[in-house]
Structure 1
Amino acid sequence: MNRSPDRRQMLGATAATASSLMLPKLGCAGSAASTTIASENAKAGTQQWRLRKTRIDPETKYRCPWIEGYVSHASILPGETLQVMVSTDPVSEFTIEFYRLGYYAGDGGRLVHTSGKLQGTVQTMPSPGPRRLQNCKWASSFEMRIPDDWVSGVYVGKLTELTEGLQSYVIFVVRDIRRAELMFQCSDHTWQAYNRWPSQYSLYDNGETPWHWGGESQVSFNRPYGKYCQILDAPLSIGSGEFFLWEFPFVYWLEKEGYDVTYVSNTDLHRDAREPLRCNGFLSVGHDEYWSIEMFRNLQTAIASGVNIGFFSGNAVCGRIQWDEATRSFYRVGVFGPPGGTREFKSMSSLTHERPYANEIIGAHSTGPVTGGADWICTAPDHWLYEGTQMQRGDTIPGVIGWEWHGDPAAIAGLEIVARGPTQSAPGIPNGGEYTATVYPGPKNNIVFNAATCWWADGLSDPPGYVRPSVYTSPQGPDSRLQQITHNVLRRMRLTMS
């Protein structure tokens, strides 16, 4: 087992950086939480945000060329201008309906703007660039200034072509600058990494294999999201990346429960170390695989400053990427883990494996077979994490761990393993892995929690349009014990801010 530096060594290097940012002292929002999210969710919702008529070109397996698009910003502030680039082939008129996603009395979304009829065109397909980069340079089809009253959240634009009524999405985050209890980070680097649009042009495609894991591929946000490429049939992923697969149930539940939450993109943590410092707790959710070194250092700074972190994610902070701002794109340059720490994909050994390792910030990281499934097994029933659950040592929550997980806990002072168990390739067939869910203390009475699974959100809620995954194991949907554990972590984040 590879061991990491002591927590004090790990965080000490970032303490000076945190001080130099000259940011205001953090306060506790828990006693007087903003009513922003509660007020937003009291507005009338609708389920019309869901795609009702979809089609995929069988020759590409992922595209909807009849109508597809992308946006100019992964995340955007009110007052900034969003451009939407759309292609319709064959040429057709189309509309865009914009929805904010949340709880809304169970409907999951609220209509915030409709474009009216727009004239579509067939936009030019890009020629592959270096590392097979697909960088569309489409003309803007629609643009609008984001209204000041649009609350931070995840937004989709539902594109509908008016010849046959076929539909797809564009997706983006509206962020803000306010103080909040929680910050939800969308894992959109990973959405883009697995985006095979137009056909076999993901970060995993190098022209020779569909699961390349080296530095020979590059992916850009300047292109539509194709339909998700593995595990399940997810029509709602056409144009929306992985959001509806692994993250939406968490958003739906957070807003149902009235938590004060603000939203950001992976790109925001990459660009600005100050982003996490305006919240009590920072949440990494779902499949959060691809991070830059800037993201890693910026989150270290946040921990050193007293921010609580919740890794409600699996396979997080695994691939180290390099950004190219000119083309809104990135490619792999390394692995946040030790040489030989995983059963490596072909070409992974061609990348740099050097510290920092992911377990130095998460508490555990991708290791061993990387993929697999397991039940959540309680190992510390007296821990505050399990208060109110009635769980005893050895009690299980079926199917929670999957399809990628974290193990190999770091030698961080005070780190506790709160759940652990063997992983399997199929029911009753162990694959030699062991997951470890962990909690460790930060330097200012803050905490870092690691759920060690991509599928945590499945146990929180079952929103409209959600498709339950099943591979290696099968999560069983909302579970009151898992919901209580999540409440315990988030309430602890409220209480431990200095």
Structure 2
Amino acid sequence: MTSEFTPKKKRRTLTRRAILGAMGIGVLGAAGYAGGGEIPGRPGHTDRNPVATENAETGDRRWRPDARGVATSTDAHGEIQGYASLTSVERGETIDFHVSTSGAEQYRISIYRLGHYQGAGARLMTTSPPLAGSARQIPDCDPETGSVGCEWPVSWTLGVPRSWTSGTYIAVFDTVSGRRGYTPFVVRELDRAADLLVVLPFTTYQGYNLWPVIGRSGKSFYNGHNPDGTLGGHKNRAFTVCFRRPYQDAGLPVWFEMDQNFVHWAEGNGYDATYASSVDLHAGRVDPSRYKAIVFPGHDEYWTTPMRSALEDALAAGTHVAFLGANNVYWHTRVEPDSNGVAHGHVTCYKEAPDPYAGDEGTTVKFRDLPGMAEQALIGVMYNGLPHRPEPLVVKGARHWFWSGTGLKNGDKIPAMVAIEADGVDGASPNPSGAQRTLLSASPYKHRGAHKRVQNTSLVEYDSGTMVFVAGTFFWPLALYKEGQINEHVRRATTNLLGRMIGPPA
């Protein structure tokens, strides 16, 4: 892709929902309307929202890591840890779970679907029978690539009922002695047209996964272990990471809470969504034209060429895109078969090191280091630093519809919003072609405590009308739902954004 990419204009048919929303009439408030039929002009779309129906079911708080009587597992002791055979599974298909316990002990696997559920946050979908646990071998890392892949047998196979609603699911592993581990996966329903497609960043989850942190073996794209067992830095990192292993310690990936809090908030507000993993995007399972918008709610750093092509296809189809984090579409990676020949089993990223296996997709460096591929040229801003501490998000463009109803003025500050990583405009990089970019914040911060930078929240509007939003900070999705970090200004602005992209929720 070059900076001259311009999405093709897509002709849209107004749905009954959009028309009612424009009139100020809620879908459920339309008198005498029974619902359930296909919407004219949108084949495969119906006005029945399965996410809203699902969230009317009774929730269950026992999934939480802080549930009474539960202590989460650690790599050091490996009380109970496991991994799924797939990042996502279609309804009607099966998914395997591979589990290790520190000794001979019974355990169960409970499957929860994350959502709102009247504030419970999840619903218990099914539970395995009692299973016999035993300790499984902790593998050494591959001496060439640093990859760590387990060969644990299948502990339990879940047949996903066709009646289940697409969503973010977690498998909860509980021993009889009260120790707990987790692993997430997605249940797909990609043949259903929906307003939103929510994509979870499993390639990035695995890039940050340091399992097992036990003084040997464990490697991520950032760290590895020294010969003396201490944790080393960049020189010790892996070049390839494997999906065939647990996530470290309790089993919830690094920054999974970004995705989790968006899911709680969005489903609590009735948005019609279906879900996929970044591997689905890579594998070509996603048809962007089925959705009004695609949302990347979490930290989405590691992308492949096919993933980026899918993003370009979405914009060309007139599908809006929202990134609610920062440092998006940053490292160019490859998703490849693992050592057992399992498709999409490995993620490879050599970064600054020579890439001995670069093929048609090119070397695995930053996208901005590939000709014509700087991420700013496509999404409007790009990663520019690590805030030393949380800083306020400083409002810009306060008269824009994005900030409508917040009461904010230019220069107003939303406290402690710019954190962990930040995006901004890079003057040396190309801007989106055939588009207008509006900066919605201009927030000074210090990169690593010394160098001054400016964070920008950005909205790109292509000539076709297609929009790309980038929050430019990790704390945006947390401000939607996380206790102690909820910000009503952020909630209202996000509602405004999705209202423009898809219309009001049911």
TM-score after normalising by structure 1 = 0.82
- The Cα shift of 1:271 comes to 1.2
Select 1:202's aligned residue among 220, 225, 246: 220
Alignment correspondent of 2:38: none
Does the C-alpha gap of structure 1 residues 331 and 371 become closer, same or farther in structure 2, counting only changes over 3 Å?
farther
CA distance in 1, matches of 2:308, 2:141: 30
- The Cα shift of 1:127 comes to 2.9
Q: What is the CA deviation profile of residues 43-91 of structure 1, one whole-angstrom value per residue up to 9, with x for unaligned ones?
A: 000101123422555xxxx455121100111011011111110111212
Alignment correspondent of 2:6: 11
Asked whether the equivalents of residues 303 and 443 of structure 1 are also in contact (C-alpha less than 8 Å), the reply is: no
- The Cα shift of 1:310 comes to 0.6
Q: Which amino acid aligns with 1:482?
A: V
- The Cα shift of 1:171 comes to 1.3
Does the C-alpha gap of structure 1 residues 383 and 450 become closer, same or farther in structure 2, counting only changes over 3 Å?
same
- The Cα shift of 1:316 comes to 1.3
- The Cα shift of 1:243 comes to 5.6
Q: Secondary structure at the match of 1:314?
A: coil
Select 1:460's aligned residue among 480, 485, 503: 480
Structure 2 residues without counterparts, runs of 5 or longer: 19-26, 28-46, 340-344, 353-363
Does the C-alpha gap of structure 1 residues 397 and 307 become closer, same or farther in structure 2, counting only changes over 3 Å?
same
Alignment correspondent of 2:452: 432
Asked whether the equivalents of residues 175 and 262 of structure 1 are also in contact (C-alpha less than 8 Å), the reply is: yes
Please say if 1:141 is aligned against 2:155.
yes
Asked whether the equivalents of residues 375 and 401 of structure 1 are also in contact (C-alpha less than 8 Å), the reply is: yes
Select 2:137's aligned residue among 124, 136, 161: 124
Alignment of 1:236-251 (within 5 A): 238-242=250-254, 244-251=256-263
CA distance in 1, matches of 2:125, 2:50: 16
Alignment correspondent of 1:344: none
- The Cα shift of 1:144 comes to 2.0
- The Cα shift of 1:387 comes to 1.0
- The Cα shift of 1:245 comes to 2.4
Does the C-alpha gap of structure 1 residues 106 and 27 become closer, same or farther in structure 2, counting only changes over 3 Å?
same
Q: What is the CA deviation profile of residues 401-459 of structure 1, one whole-angstrom value per residue up to 9, with x for unaligned ones?
A: 11101112552331111111211368xx6631111111111343121111101110121
Q: Secondary structure at the match of 2:124?
A: strand
Asked whether the equivalents of residues 333 and 352 of structure 1 are also in contact (C-alpha less than 8 Å), the reply is: no
Structure 1 residues without counterparts, runs of 5 or longer: 228-237, 336-346, 464-475
Alignment correspondent of 1:420: 442
Does the C-alpha gap of structure 1 residues 35 and 183 become closer, same or farther in structure 2, counting only changes over 3 Å?
same
Alignment correspondent of 2:419: 402
Alignment of 1:104-123 (within 5 A): 104-123=117-136
Structure 1 residues 409-418 or 190-199, which shifts more?
409-418
Does the C-alpha gap of structure 1 residues 406 and 213 become closer, same or farther in structure 2, counting only changes over 3 Å?
farther
Q: What is the CA deviation profile of residues 233-289 of structure 1, one whole-angstrom value per residue up to 9, with x for unaligned ones?
A: xxxxx1121364222111101011111111111111111164332211111122111
Please say if 1:330 is aligned against 2:344.
no
Does the C-alpha gap of structure 1 residues 136 and 28 become closer, same or farther in structure 2, counting only changes over 3 Å?
farther
Asked whether the equivalents of residues 313 and 453 of structure 1 are also in contact (C-alpha less than 8 Å), the reply is: yes
Identity %: 27
Does the C-alpha gap of structure 1 residues 206 and 424 become closer, same or farther in structure 2, counting only changes over 3 Å?
same
Q: Which amino acid aligns with 1:201?
A: K
Please say if 1:279 is aligned against 2:291.
yes
Q: CA RMSD in A?
A: 2.9
CA distance in 2, matches of 1:330, 1:29: 43
Alignment correspondent of 2:180: 167
Please say if 1:308 is aligned against 2:320.
yes
Asked whether the equivalents of residues 324 and 471 of structure 2 are also in contact (C-alpha less than 8 Å), the reply is: yes
Alignment correspondent of 1:480: 488
Q: What is the CA deviation profile of residues 107-133 of structure 1, one whole-angstrom value per residue up to 9, with x for unaligned ones?
A: 001011011201122222223223111
TM-score after normalising by structure 2 = 0.81
Please say if 1:226 is aligned against 2:248.
yes
- The Cα shift of 1:28 comes to 4.9
Q: Secondary structure at the match of 1:326?
A: coil
CA distance in 2, matches of 1:420, 1:362: 17
Asked whether the equivalents of residues 268 and 275 of structure 1 are also in contact (C-alpha less than 8 Å), the reply is: no
Does the C-alpha gap of structure 1 residues 395 and 183 become closer, same or farther in structure 2, counting only changes over 3 Å?
same
Alignment of 1:290-369 (within 5 A): 290-327=302-339, 328-334=345-351, 353-368=370-385
Alignment correspondent of 1:86: 99
Q: Secondary structure at the match of 2:71?
A: coil
Asked whether the equivalents of residues 87 and 122 of structure 1 are also in contact (C-alpha less than 8 Å), the reply is: yes
- The Cα shift of 1:214 comes to 9.5
CA distance in 1, matches of 2:500, 2:105: 52
Alignment of 1:441-456 (within 5 A): 441-456=461-476
CA distance in 1, matches of 2:2, 2:406: 34
Does the C-alpha gap of structure 1 residues 399 and 446 become closer, same or farther in structure 2, counting only changes over 3 Å?
same
Q: What is the CA deviation profile of residues 126-174 of structure 1, one whole-angstrom value per residue up to 9, with x for unaligned ones?
A: 2322311111121100002110111111111111112x22111121000
Asked whether the equivalents of residues 436 and 462 of structure 2 are also in contact (C-alpha less than 8 Å), the reply is: no
Q: Secondary structure at the match of 2:442?
A: strand
Structure of higher CA gyration radius: 2
Select 2:281's aligned residue among 241, 244, 269: 269
